[in-house]
Amino acid sequence: MKILAIHNFHRKGSASGDDQVFKSETALLESHGNQVIKYTVSNDEFDNAGLIGKLSATFGMLWSSKNYRAVRQMIQKEKPDIVHIHTFFPLLSPSILYAAKRSGVKVVATLHDTRFVCPCSTSLRGTELCNECGDGKYFRMCKYGCFKNSRLQSFIVAGIFTYHRIRKSFYKQIDRYICLNENQIRLLTNIGFDKNKIIKKYNFVPDAEANLKAVKVEGLPERYVVFYGRIGEEKGIRILMKIWDEISDIPIVVMGGGPLENEFKQWAKQHDNVYFLGYTQHDKCLSIVKGGEFVVFPSIWYEGCSMVEIETESLGKGLIATDLGFSVEAIEDGVNGYKVALGDIIDFGKKIKGLWNNPQKCMCIGVNARKDYENKYMPEDNYQQLINIYRDTLGI
pLDDT, residue 14, reads 62
Summarize pLDDT for 203-244 with one digit per residue, the tens: 999 887 766 777 778 899 999 999 999 999 999 999 999 999
Q: What is the 3-state secondary structure (H, E, C) of the chain?
A: CEEEEEEEECCCCCCCHHHHHHHHHHHHHHHCCCEEEEEEEECHHHHHCCHHHHHHHHHHCCCCHHHHHHHHHHHHHHCCCEEEECCCCCCCCCHHHHHHHHCCCEEEEECCCCCCCCCCCCCEECCEECCHHHHCCCCHHHHHCCCCCCHHHHHHHHHHHHHHHHCCHHHHCCCEEEECCHHHHHHHHHCCCCHHHEEECCCCCCCCCCCCCCCCCCCCCCCCEEEECCCCHHHCHHHHHHHHHCCCCCCEEEECCCCCHHHHHHHHCCCCCEEEEECCCHHHHHHHHHHCCEEEECCCCCCCCCHHHHHHHHCCCEEEEECCCHHHHHCCECCCEEEECCCCHHHHHHHHHHHHCCHHHHHHHHHHHHHHHHHHCCHHHHHHHHHHHHHHHHCC
Summarize pLDDT for 339-355 with one digit per residue, the tens: 999 999 999 999 999 99
Task: Compute the average pLDDT of residues 163-187.
Answer: 97
Looking at the chain, the whole-number percentage of residues with pLDDT higher than 70 is 98
pLDDT band at 51 (very low <50, low <70, confident <90, very high): confident
Q: Cα–Cα distance between 228 and 70 in angstroms, integer?
A: 38
Among 1-5, 48-52, 327-331, the range scoring the smallest mean pLDDT is 48-52
Looking at the chain, the whole-number percentage of residues with pLDDT higher than 90 is 89
| Angle, vertex CA 104, rays to CA 101 and CA 110, nearest 5 | 45
pLDDT at 15 over 70: no
pLDDT at 329 over 70: yes
pLDDT, residue 187, reads 97
pLDDT band at 59 (very low <50, low <70, confident <90, very high): confident
Summarize pLDDT for 236-273 with one digit per residue, the tens: 999 999 999 999 999 999 999 999 999 999 999 999 99
pLDDT, residue 122, reads 93
Residues 6+ apart with CB under 8 A from 280: 228, 255, 256, 288
pTM: 0.93
pLDDT, residue 45, reads 82
End-to-end CA gap in the chain: 12
